[in-house]
Amino acid sequence: MRRRQGVSGDKLDEHQMACFDLAWCAAESSTAHFAVDYVYKVVAANEAGHGVSLEERMTLAFCAEALQNIRNRLFARPKTFGLNEDDLATLDASALRHFCQSQLDAGNLEALGRQIIALNGASGSYMLGHDATMMQDSFRKLATNVVMPLAEEIHRQDRIIPKEILEPLTEMGCFALSIPERYGGIQSDDHEDNMGMIVVTEELSRGSLGGAGSLITRPEILSRSLLKGGTEEQRQKWLPLVAMGDPLCAIAVTEPDTGSDVAAMRLKATKCDGGWILDGAKTWCTMAGKAGLILVLARSNPDRSLGHKGLSMFLVEKDVYEGHDFEYRQPQGGLLTGRAIATIGYRGMHSYELFFDHVFVPDENLVGGPGGEGKGFYFIMAGFAGGRIQTAARAIGVMQAAFERAVSYSQERKVFGKPIGEYQLTLVKLARMATLLTVSRQFTYAVGRLMDQGAGQMEASMVKLFTCRTAEWLTREALQIHGGMGYAEESPVSRYFVDARVLSIFEGAEETLALKVIARSLIDAV
């Protein structure tokens, strides 16, 4: 039988606009699908309820908005999608138009906004199980009582995450969430449970994205990578230590000239007696200074025509540094230097440029041992799937914090004699904010459950794409509701806004996810 060829990358690049729009259509329709499933569960859990619930109203409004967005994209460029007049007529059916118009009517959204304010900013039932609810409650208290009081100082003074946050998180098992019990973690040995990781991330990100919410990402990626490709000796040695937060870890994949094009990376790994020598540069390596262990993807085969098949993964050990710059000299003579990159937000974690000058890595730290040589790309991709769903959870936490502030301020601030929350435009904004927050949360939870079943890889990319762009819009609106105070650094919403901007960039840039992952997979499945 002749093997089916994959989709041509060059052909996809010739139609980037269509691919990008297609990915967004798929992401929004998937969000709507999971939102409808969510409403059915809410209705089933509240059989005694009467009338249309808040969850139903929000889901209907979102489905109408998603349909309108999809219709607009296809109508704007029908030739790009190969659509004819008959196809467009189907999309313009009167029933579809009536549904969208009735749900997106200003009066309907205003009434939804009033309902949300009457419920003190409630945005729908979470529909979590007992264990996840307990974890949510515990970490919400920690975020409120420990993280939030330090969040502004970390952001404004560009501080490294302090021990006042790290120590209680370690005690509560924050770094052990994705590590199986047999390796000292709290994940079941029998099956995955992503929901704990998701709700913990969500609550910590509500407290501070850079000061707490992103701490789980690196252990998540490293542990999944080792579970996918590490030797049993490597798992036994490193996973219990990572679970205890000692050492903290970092992930070095991105390079200055390659960005999201992992297969084009150049950092060179050269075989030597007893190990490997690393030479080259990495960038956007978050937490590299304070990390004692860095997972590094490097080119172990000099034949660049091999692309991603010439990459291997290494565990690089180093000393811990508190500052914005560090210089680590190995006994063997190698030198690893790092410099924190100044950023508009996402402070606390600090992302570094790294320079490897003849850095020695022993053979035992080649992930997978000799059999892992050339397989580093596949190992890191296993880690990134977890990183994407975790990033969606981070986006939800930031959105939740911004939404809470927006609802509260809309009741406090008076303009022309009454609170701004009584004006129609503000009510519509709050209705859309609550709706998008809720459907984003439920999409993320649904993908987490899919991943527990060994599926959901494509959906993890779609939920990351959707929630991160949504977080940018929602935090922008929260800032706008605050007016001039929102632009002042003393207001937390200014931090939420600049923090949210990074979400569409890291753990898979928006364009890369849309063009190289989602669109490619959709077309390849046809």
- Same domain? For 157 and 215 the reply is yes
31-54: string of b/e by CB count within 10 Å (b at 16+)? Answer: bbebbbebbeebeeeeeeeeeebb
Q: Based on the domain organization, do 259 and 325 belong to the same domain? A: yes
Domain count, the chain: 3
* Closest residue by Cα to residue 292 from 182, 158, 175, 432: 175
Residue 23 in 3-state DSSP?
Answer: helix
| Residue 525 forms part of a structural domain | no
Query: For residue 185, what are the CA distances in angstroms to 98, 168, 234, 393?
Result: 52, 16, 15, 20
Domain that holds residue 153: 130-240
Question: Do 57 and 148 fall into the same domain?
Answer: no
- Segment 420-479, tens digit of pLDDT: 999 999 999 999 999 999 999 999 999 999 998 888 889 999 999 999 999 999 999 999
pLDDT tens sequence across 228-280: 999 999 999 999 999 999 999 999 999 987 766 676 788 999 999 999 999 99
Choose the catalytic residue: 110, 472, 507, 510.
507
Nearest to 247 by CA among 175, 333, 335, 322: 175
CA distance linking residue 461 with residue 458, whole number of Å: 5
pTM score, whole prediction = 0.92
Alpha-carbon gap, residue 477 to 483, rounded angstroms: 10
Task: Tell which of 319, 349, 378 closes a domain.
Answer: 378
CATH number at residue 137: 1.10.540.10
pLDDT at 311: 95
Question: Do residues 233 and 260 share a domain?
Answer: no
Give the model's pLDDT for residue 381: 85
With tokens 């330090």, the residue in question is: 150
Residues 260 and 362 in one domain: yes
Rounded CA-CA distance 513/503 in Å is: 13
Same domain, 264 and 365: yes
User: Half-sphere exposure (CA, 13 Å, Cβ side) for 87?
Assistant: 10
Q: With bands split at pLDDT 50, 70 and 90, how would you rate the model's confidence at 50?
A: low
Pairwise CA distance, residues 451 & 463, whole Å: 12
What's the CA gap between 522 and 526, in Å, rounded?
A: 7
How would residue 48 be classed by pLDDT, with cut points 50, 70 and 90?
low
| 6 confidence band (pLDDT: 50, 70, 90) | low
The answer to whether 507 is a known catalytic residue is: yes
* Number of Cβ atoms within 10 Å of the Cβ of 24: 22
Per residue in 313-340, pLDDT (tens digit) is 999 999 999 989 999 999 989 999 999 9
51 plus 88 within the same structural domain:
yes
What's the pLDDT band for 2 if we cut at 50, 70, 90? very low
